[in-house]
Chains A and B, each alone.
Chain A
Amino acid sequence: MSLTIPPHKLQLNEHGQLKHFLTTENLSTEILTEILDTAESFSSVGQQAVKKVPLLRGKTVVNLFFEASTRTRTTFELAAKRLSADVLNINISASATSKGESLMDMLWNLEAMDSDMFIVRHQDSGAPHFIASQVCPHVAIINAGDGRHAHPTQAMLDMYTIRKHKGDFRNLKVAIIGDITHSRVARSQVHALNGLQVGEVRVIGPKTLIPHDMEHLGAKVFYNMEQGLKDVDVVIMLRLQKERMNSALLPSEHEFYRLYGLTTEKLAFAKPDAIVMHPGPINRGVEIETAVADGPQSVILKQVNYGISVRMAVLSMAMSGQSTEITTSESINGEHGA
């Protein structure tokens, strides 16, 4: 039965290519690398006078955001438009679709309008998987963040950033710092890093913000920055939500910053050429010092730019995987089909 197929299997077609993009978990090194390579080739589109390629011309892509996020939505919109797709933006308040039925009704309506792709952001873990498996199996579903489960395109743009600056993953040590428990980005990063055969993944934070059995997920747990940052090549800071203070997970922003905030002094524990990343938006003085965020080791602003090519790659690969036939002709006058 389709509903028992886990996301990492559901997102591949019979040839093992992406047809949805739901999670970075259990993706092969080859597919992860293919995403990064494809993103690389899309990077030149931004330099064209006409910043568009006709790959998704005539396709309808719907940005379906059940959770507000202007930044993520904008990069997806730009990515889809650079692929020449028609883009529809729909923001839905969670309350309007709290019942399963109304959510399904709305999705079926959109599907009936011949939509080809949904880019879904939802506060519930597994929502994109639910849509792909039970509601609209013939629409390509791209996960733009679901609950605490996954944010695979953000993780892939982080991988792209790391590869740009550090090259080969195999000898790298990467530390992810902050609120791991509530972070879908962190989970997707850990899966992607392990899929790309990174040397070592670490998470650093207080026990209240590290989820159960994190080691099993493929990350070493540290509670102390000095130990956790030692010999690290890549430092990824996570955003700290203000509401964590109210739910007794942390005493104060001040104490968090003192223990886990990335300051110039703490960054010195890492390798001298370590890069600093942050999925944004940054809370300066809460998780990261301004001097570090804007300093020479920071690649935070570059991440934003890379986001568009990575999303173009994912959108075009998933759309391509929806059509089952594959190119086999390698001969030059196989331009018969070009």
Chain B
Amino acid sequence: MTLPTVDSLINNMSSDLQNLLDQRAINQPAMVGIHTGGAWVAKALHQQLALDQALGLLDITFYRDDFTQKGLHPSVKTSDLPFATDGQHIILVDDAISSGRTIRAALNELFDYGRPASVILVTLIDVLGRDLPIQPDIIGEQLDLAPQQRVKLNGPDNMHLTITHVN
């Protein structure tokens, strides 16, 4: 499978996102990236769109639904939302969506900070296999992977995608 370059995807996403914002008449959106890969993608989009609000970061570790099975992730980062979320239009960015569970956790955490006006979901990759009724508004590319295949975003410099296999 030939994988697209991340730069081209981000260029497309950035113009799609700008169109969506125009269409919904959102002027001052705030962008939040999900740690780790989502934050890299968010940073690139944030630059391209030249947003005024500082970029936010979410670590959803404390909101995972598999804590009892998998325990605490060893490298937890601080969530940092440098703006008031109440009444704010928010663009939530992750590197990939598959089951939808990460986004569920991120939305829960976001709402614990306040009540946003709206949330737009942007993901670089959309891998099929949703467990939850959550769909991104903007995607870079849709991939149809075999069950043993995983897509991985490498970064933060020279972001590129690779496919790995699990047993």
Contact = CB atoms under 8 A, between A and B. Distances in A.
Question: Are A and B direct contacts in the complex by CB distance below 8 Å?
Answer: yes
Interface of A: 17, 34, 37-38, 40-45, 48-50, 52-56, 316-317, 319-321, 323, 325-327, 329, 331-338
B60 interface: yes
A333 B101 contact: no
A326 B70 contact: yes
B72 A320 contact: yes
B6 to A, nearest CB: 13
Contact of A325 (B69, B80, B129): B69
Contacts of B66: 337-338
A238 B73 CA distance: 35
Nearest to A49: B114
A335 B102 contact: yes
A40 B68 CA distance: 22
A263 B116 CA distance: 51
A338 B71 contact: no
Chain B interface main SS type:
mixed
Interface stretch (B15-23, B46-54, B90-98): B90-98
Interface string B56-70: 000111111111111
A55 B70 contact: no
Contacts of A38: 72, 76
Contacts of A335: 96-99, 101-102
B160 interface: no
B150 A331 contact: yes
B76 A37 contact: yes
10 contacts: A45-B62, A50-B111, A55-B63, A320-B67, A321-B71, A326-B70, A334-B150, A335-B96, A337-B69, A338-B102
Given A333-B150, A335-B99, A323 B74 contact: no
Given A320-B72, A331-B152, 7 more contacts: A41-B62, A43-B78, A320-B71, A327-B71, A333-B151, A336-B98, A338-B64
A65 B8 CA distance: 60
B78 A327 contact: no
A289 B91 CA distance: 53
A24 to B, nearest CB: 19
B95 A332 contact: yes
A316 B63 CA distance: 12
Nearest to A17: B71
B164 interface: yes
A327 B67 CA distance: 10
Nearest to B164: A331
Contact of B63 (A37, A53, A323, A334): A53
A43 B79 CA distance: 9
Nearest to B163: A331
A75 B111 CA distance: 25
A321 B166 CA distance: 25
A7 to B, nearest CB: 21
A31 to B, nearest CB: 10
Contacts of A53: 62-63, 109, 112
B113 A48 contact: yes
B10 to A, nearest CB: 16
Interface string B93-125: 001111101100100110111100000000001
A323 B71 contact: yes
Contacts of B63: 53-55
Sort A-B residue pairs by CB-CB distance and give the 5 closest, nearest first: A320-B71, A53-B62, A320-B72, A331-B150, A50-B112
Interface in B21-40: 37
A294 to B, nearest CB: 30
A121 to B, nearest CB: 24
Contacts of A17: 71
Contact of B105 (A45, A325, A338): A338
A303 B51 CA distance: 38
Contact of B153 (A44, A54, A325, A332): A332
Given A333-B96, A338-B65, A48 B112 contact: yes
B41 to A, nearest CB: 10
Contacts of B101: 335-338
A54 B62 contact: yes
Contacts of A316: 62, 72
Nearest to B161: A332
A321 B164 CA distance: 28
Nearest to A43: B78
A333 B153 CA distance: 10
Given A332-B152, A333-B151, A41 B60 contact: no
Given A34-B74, A49-B113, A332 B96 contact: yes
